[in-house]
């Protein structure tokens, strides 16, 4: 399962969520505005920026604003 760091107002996040739903990819959503620790994590993998969506994979790696193809390709390798 992947973790998506998101906000309620992020259009890119909503799009990726709907694509992962359609593809049957299980994920957990963490709102970085409600969880300061998650915002710190997002900043740590994005050069100090709170860029969402940031997706963390089971192997601990992360991608920022990935396409659904990138998510599927990464999950095929994990």
What is the pLDDT confidence band of residue 22, given thresholds at 50, 70 and 90?
very high
Tally of domains within the chain = 1
Alpha carbons 41 and 23: distance in angstroms, whole number: 26
Does residue 64 form part of some domain? yes
pLDDT at 78 over 90: no
Q: Could you tell me the pTM of the whole model? A: 0.93
| pLDDT digit string, tens, across residues 26-77 | 999 999 999 999 999 999 999 999 999 999 999 999 999 999 999 999 999 8
Does residue 75 form part of some domain? no
The CATH number for 16's domain is 3.40.30.10
Question: Mean pLDDT over all residues of the chain?
Answer: 96
Does residue 39 form part of some domain? yes
Q: Contact at 8 Å (CB) between 17 and 24?
A: no
Does residue 14 form part of some domain? yes
DSSP state string for 26-70: -EEEEETTT-HHHHHHHHHHTTT---S-EEE-TTS-EEES--HHH
The residue segments making up the domain with residue 39 are 2-70
């Amino acid at each position: 399962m992947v973790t998506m760091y998101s906000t309620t107002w992020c259009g890119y996040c909503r799009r990726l969520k709907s694509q992962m739903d359609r593809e049957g990819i299980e994920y957990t959503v963490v709102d970085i505005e409600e969880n300061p620790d998650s915002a710190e994590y997002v900043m740590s993998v994005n050069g100090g920026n709170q860029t969402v969506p940031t997706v963390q994979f089971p192997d601990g790696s992360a991608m920022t604003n990935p396409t659904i193809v990138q998510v599927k390709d990464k999950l095929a390798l994990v």
